[in-house]
């Protein structure tokens, strides 16, 4: 029996992913209430937020800027309150796609070829051939994602992607199967394969009911599954992640995994990818939320003993 706690769920916030975060937070709050915990809800629309008194732990269901970028995590560290997920430094690195890529390259985790671009007037980079993908460096949920099939699409796509950040990641478009690996307490969960019914796995296909099919465990042979999970764990370790996260990975036709990015506060609606993977491992949604809280409290106990 878990002790009854006063848990503050932080969700919403000012980012471009506010709507998704609201759904995550409401699902988490409902699950934690079902376990008997006392729940406060906090929507940090500005920097002047205050935690409710006697908060035992904070469940972070924020996404995007001022949620996944380490800012909230740093404030909670200063307050000395245990919170779910990665610390400030890992959050800052993982939220920045270029910093993440550099970490992956340093430790030899396979990732797509990339280049950073910070000017709307930048010409098509020399030595590149389409198709390529453009992504705002510091956004999530496929916000600002653009596909460039021909150089004559370059200017429009670059301008659109730069609407969401001052820097854009240009990345080779990988042909293959799209997967994601959930990480929980140092273990890789069953692989999820994502198959949009039409087009790419963009914001619309992600959040439109019925637009995408999900397969978990993904239908790969055992050896390929192990390679995908290993790449996910290594990528999470490369950004010094802790407790839980999700790593998005393309799998080439020959079975080679290619890491795209690391998510330190993945979606937590009951149909999100991390809960899907946990369910395939026999972990219910409510149990997953409880384990995330347990990991935060365990870390506090360890720190007190030092």
Give the residue numbers marked as catalytic: 17, 141, 207, 246, 248, 261, 263, 267
Is 262:245 a contact under the CB 8 Å cutoff?
yes
- Contacts (Cβ under 8 Å, ≥6 apart) of 294: 2
For residue 8, the surrounding DSSP H or E stretch is strand 6-10
Angle, to 10 degrees, between the axis of helix 88-95 and the axis of helix 97-107?
A: 100
* Strand pairing category for 6-10 and 57-60: parallel
- What are the tokens at 224? 């390929």
Is 142:206 a contact under the CB 8 Å cutoff?
yes
Is 259:109 a contact under the CB 8 Å cutoff?
yes
- Rounded Cα gap, residues 66 and 218, in angstroms: 33
- Rounded Cα gap, residues 226 and 249, in angstroms: 13
């Amino acid at each position: 029996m878990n002790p009854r706690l006063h848990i503050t769920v932080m969700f919403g916030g000012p980012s471009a992913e506010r709507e998704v975060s609201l759904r995550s937070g409401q699902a988490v709050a409902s699950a934690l209430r079902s376990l008997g915990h006392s729940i406060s809800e906090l929507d940090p629309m500005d920097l002047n937020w205050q935690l409710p008194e006697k908060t035992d732990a904070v469940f972070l269901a924020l996404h995007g800027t001022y949620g996944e970028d380490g800012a909230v995590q740093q404030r909670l560290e200063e307050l000395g309150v245990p919170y779910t997920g990665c610390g400030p430094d890992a959050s800052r690195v993982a939220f920045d796609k270029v910093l993440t890529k550099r970490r992956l390259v340093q430790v030899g985790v396979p990732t797509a070829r990339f280049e950073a671009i910070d000017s709307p007037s930048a010409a098509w980079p020399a030595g590149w051939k389409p198709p390529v993908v453009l992504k705002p460096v510091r956004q999530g949920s496929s916000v600002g994602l653009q596909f460039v099939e021909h150089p004559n699409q370059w200017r429009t796509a670059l301008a659109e992607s730069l609407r969401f950040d001052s820097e854009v990641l240009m990345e080779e478009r990988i042909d293959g199967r799209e997967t994601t690996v959930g990480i929980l307490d140092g273990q890789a969960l069953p692989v999820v394969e994502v198959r949009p019914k039409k087009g790419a796995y963009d914001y619309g296909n992600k959040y439109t009911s019925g637009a995408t099919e999900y397969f978990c465990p993904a239908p790969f042979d055992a050896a390929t599954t192990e390679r995908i999970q290993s790449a996910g764990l290594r990528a999470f370790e490369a950004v010094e992640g802790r407790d839980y996260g999700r790593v998005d990975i393309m799998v080439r036709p020959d079975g080679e995994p290619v890491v795209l990015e690391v998510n330190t506060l993945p979606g937590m609606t009951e149909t999100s990818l991390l809960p899907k993977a946990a369910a395939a491992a026999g972990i219910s949604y409510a149990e997953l939320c409880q384990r995330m809280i347990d990991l935060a409290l365990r870390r506090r106990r360890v720190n007190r003993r030092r």
